[in-house]
Structure 1
Amino acid sequence: MSEQGPLAPTTVRPRPKVLIVDDQPQNLVALQAILRELDVEVVQAGSGFEALAAVLRYDFVVILLDVMMPELGGVDVATLLRGNSRTSHIPIIFVTAIDSDDIVFKGYEAGAVDYLFKPINPVVLKSKLNVFLELDRRWRMLEERSAELELAKDRAESANLSKSRFLATMSHELRTPLNAIIGFSELLQGEMRGQAADDLCTIRDAGRHLLSVIDSILDISKIEAGEVTLNIEPCEVQSLLDEVARMAAPLLRCNRNSLEISCPEPPLHMVTDTAKVRQCLFNLLGNAAKFSRDSVVSVVVEHDLVDGEQWVQFRVTDRGIGMSPDQVASSFKPFTQGDDSIARRYGGTGLGLAITKTFCQLLGGDVEVDSVLGQGATFTMHLPCGKPGAGQECEPASEARAPLGTRGECVRGPLTEEVRGRGAPAEEHGGHLDILLVEDNPTSQELMQRYLARQGHRVVVADGGKAALALLESEAFDLILMDIEMPEMDGLEAARVIRRREAAKGMHSPIVAVTAHTFAEDRRRCFEAGMDAFLPKPIHPNELDALLAHVRSGLGASIGRERHPGLTREH
């Protein structure tokens, strides 16, 4: 016999139990004889008291209960059983020789579900019992199925947790070296000329592309887990388009494409999740740039009124390779890219359009595509304008942005509403900062030291939380840049200790998380630990500059050491 692996264990169900209660032994013998034909285990009780003892020992499918018994009659037994949560579910069929409406009424009032009159018809008895046996069988199947589903749910949750932990770990492990690759290539570009500068640009762009792939995988994982959250804020459409155009410019240049943007006047405003709209537009522009060559990519923005609500349409059109009807039908499915030849020729993960579709729907809109093979494609995003709150003014989106294809935004905590897009050279602000860099990775230490020192800031490095606490006992800093994952004492615990120390002195030093852990849960934990802002790795220079500019502007002309105006939170 061939081996087929271990057999799954078979569940052997015990035979269902039926309790028969009668004070006449001959009646018990008769009932036992009738029930012998059924696949049940019969338990006998010669009195009401024996019946009560039996139901505490066994779980019965049904009880055949004589009405007229000395000391404790059937109605009394039924009343007691119905009043007990352990036995109230057991069906009771009364058995009696008295055909009286009064007896029947009392029985039903006590909780009986049916009646049998003596002399008992065996066919009727077995038919009634089979109904309850079938109900019990189905109930037990339902319980087993529920248990299986609960087990499957637990396993799925465990697998999802393992997946989340794996993704978080891989994100951290990939972002840390990418921080060095992208950071040093940008740092060295200003020092190199000619071919060396071009090579560094290639290295930087390759690192940014890899980071965009990582971000897309994390996005689709968050979507599958239902963990996507929205950050609704005012947004000026023209500024947003200008920002996306700058982000997509390298992709357009790569295939010698040009970009045309048409946006209505006066400036159009929305109240939406700006970051997600930005990412959707970048995904569509990147898609158009990738599949077009020596052509024009256009973005047309229109607005209209639908059922009394203002809507915005973003129409992105290219004159590239286009899609067949089958490709159009599957274009928004994750990991789908037309066919294998397109994937090999043009690359990509096939996630951008799926993410765009989900984000648009989360924002209350949708995205659709119209395409003819060989003639290009038009993707149209339909999004509601949203409604500003009372007195709320829509402001232009920030000008600086994360690297090509990355989200990399500085997540705003209590520290600032202006941390993104306000970077400026140190000379414009005057005064330099004393910065405590808490980082255990030597490469990241060197990168940050060189970048900050180039701007004239003094940087003191602590290679862990304990070392940072020791330095803070003897010296104060204008800004603390805190890594999260470090041996002995991580950044979260170090931040908690710092906040406890400062609370007693009425101080508040700005603490910014600088980490490759970028999940929403990681950000929440950072803010709960008392940090003021969050910079994900790889760090973009514009965002770091924006943060430093805000700290300098908060400090004013003189750099204080006790409380920093503009950055202080109420305790």
Structure 2
Amino acid sequence: MPNHHVTSISSLIKKTLLQLFLIGIVTGLILSFVMGFIEHYQQKRQNLQRLSSVLASSASMVDGGSLVAQQVRLLLEEDPTIHSIVFYATEQPADGIDQAQIERASRDWYNALFASSVSFNQAVISQELQSTNPPPKINNERSALIGYINVTLDIQALRWQWLQANLWWWLIISGTGLLAMLFCARKLNWIGYEVSGLSKAWQTDDSKPDFEQIPAVQPRFEFTELMQIQQAFIKLFQRFKTAQEHIISLADFEAKLQNKDLALEVQRHNFQSMITHELKTSLNAISGGLQLLNPQPLNDEQKDILEVIRKGSQHLNCTLEQIIQLNKIEKGQIGLTITEFNPLQLLADILDKFEPKARQKNLNLISRIYHIDYNLEGDVGKISQVISSLIDNAIKFSHFGDIVIESQLSHFNESIRWQLKIIDNGIGIEQKYLEDIFTPFFQVDPSVTREYEGAGIGLPVIKQIVQLMDGNIEVDSELGHGSAFRLLIPLRDSLASGRQKILAATTILYYHREDSKAMTDALQALGAHVESHQHPATILEQLQTTAVDMVMIGEDISIEKAGRLAEDIRQNEQYHRVLIVYWFAESKAFLMQTMSSQLQALGVDFCHKAVRDPSQLQGVIKKWRG
């Protein structure tokens, strides 16, 4: 958006009037000078022409030379604008000189404005000839011509004389215009005073966090538009108060709902814990009784009955274990146990376990492996549980065809992503239920006569476990054509993990504003001891009491704050120089081309685009540390 200059109404009125005054004065002065001086020049020219006629008449008389000389001396002394008056005798008229024609062709405005001097010629004719004969024409009566009188007018001196004569009038007119402008400005400023008073009143009340009534403004003048504006403010204030009351009521209602939801959540967890404990106790008694019956001699019918009871108790026990596990995950009571395992061997063991069950339903378990043998690090127990649950569901909901398990490893230097895909030809799921199947206790077919058993716990537990491992699970399905579940699980290469401890025994203070888990996990994976801070003051305090190797500033911190923190750290350092790193976001890459040098001048050692992958982070830190 364009950056508009902010100004007040009063200053705008003053500036506008001042501009109009200056334009008017300059325009008036120019026009008055041009028009007035042109008129003055015309009058002066006419006077000089009459004067030259008088001189010519005097010069034509017998013994008129002394009279002309006396007149010329007086004219030159009294009128400084006359540059010279010269008589030159000749009996031959100047060819082409026709005074009337010259006057008609003269341009007064041009001479007055741009010429430096103007000359006028007047013919001197013999007085005797004039007494006996009519005045001869110059072109025809050559014998009557005695000579010419040339009068030269100094235009520059005329301009200066005229300017001095009219200067006081211009000053009087300018002063009158200035007074008129000040009077108009005072009148127009009344509007600015009223608006400023209204603005100050609102600013004074706005400084109070909770003002309950509209500020009172006493107008000195009743302007219709300003009264309408004030009425509009009153209506807006009333609407604001109404909206504020609605917001407060909604906030109270939301708080009550949150408290109610929290209470219901606590009750749900308590109920789950209680019911699972009670059922678990009963199931243990049933399992103990079944174990006591194992050595007893039983007939075939009794054995079948016991097998039905055993399967039912095992199914119920599995469901209870899933509920208990889901409850613990939601409470944050379950962590990861990282061990080394072989993914090919793990898949082989799982397929061997489900092969008999698939064969009973005439299903084929097919594995498609797109990677070589690797040793990885991860929670093998939870990974096995997730894969087993998905294969078990595929077998349960399929009646024919193949169940395909695809396995692929994606390498990112020393980081590995295990991608698994379980494809079946089962009953499928409608598109509208694909998001709901990961909700606890959700059933696509909630009727009591449904064909397939289950409490709606398996998939929610799978998703919670996958998210616990920072993985992802997705599903594509079509009703009547089967489903395809895709797993993405991040793992570590066991051979490379020993090389990732380049920051062992290194203490890093990480300054950030939002969640920093990704960066702290990446630094900890390299062996660093990381402490997160959201306030620069705590970092400065810890640097005074603790030996720190690095201070890293997150990409969510502005460049200005990063520079101030680096400058404060450098000013307070005494014996140990800490390494300061600023991670910037991708969106700031272009800006950092010019700002990195300024940050380094303030004390930042390195500026780099944010990196969270441990392998890439390892390479960057190695380069910094030499």
Q: Same fold (TM over 0.5)?
A: no
TM superposition score normalised by structure 1? 0.42
Larger Rg: 2
TM superposition score normalised by structure 2? 0.39
Name the structure with the higher helix share: 2
